[in-house]
Amino acid sequence: MSTIEIPCTYQCEYLGVIIDCHFNWDAHETDPLNPMETYLLDWQLSSRGSPLRDIAYFFYACSSKECFDTYITYLRIYHESASNILQKFDLNIEDIMTFDELQEQWKYHANFGMYMALLIIKIMLAEQEEAPDLKELVEDEANENMLALFNFNIANVEEYRNRFRVIIDYILENNFIVIDKTL
């Protein structure tokens, strides 16, 4: 038997940030690459919390090995961007979340990103005919287990394994999850 430990010393507090953990939450009035206006459409998973939860969800589900290898660069970009935005409101990012605190929250939310990626990547790699019918699953009142949504086979299973292997290697190499095999 083995146990899993999630090392994190930082107590992640609510920061008053609305997070959604979804990719399809906006619509653009014009060209999606150069929007004039953006409308937020999808709020069913929105909640107050750490922005790192949303970032972990997106990063783990969408990143390549190269992105994972340079993750610190992306965290710095996020921290600097947040700082620039907060300065417009006469706020100092260091009073809200230092870069060290951001890194601790990144570790804390690593398990969430990993578990969500486990589910989402499978759906992302599924061919249209392989994916379950969401409408049918939701409307079926006898289906009390939404995990049935993820119980299907995909042809791209090797790509799924490769992408998830990158995530597992990253998490273990960075000691975000430590497996104790002595128990």
Instruction: Please report which residue ranges of the chain form alpha helices under DSSP H.
Output: 51-62, 65-69, 71-87, 93-96, 99-108, 110-125, 134-139, 157-173
On average, the pLDDT of the chain sits at 76
Residue 6: pLDDT above 50?
no
| Mean pLDDT across 67-79 | 94
Nearest to 6 by CA among 163, 112, 86, 89: 112
Question: pLDDT tens digits, residue range 126-173?
Answer: 888 887 776 776 666 555 666 667 778 889 999 999 999 999 999 999
- pTM of the full predicted structure? 0.70
pLDDT confidence band for 41 (50 / 70 / 90) = very low
Joined together, the tokens standing for residue 167 give 């995530």
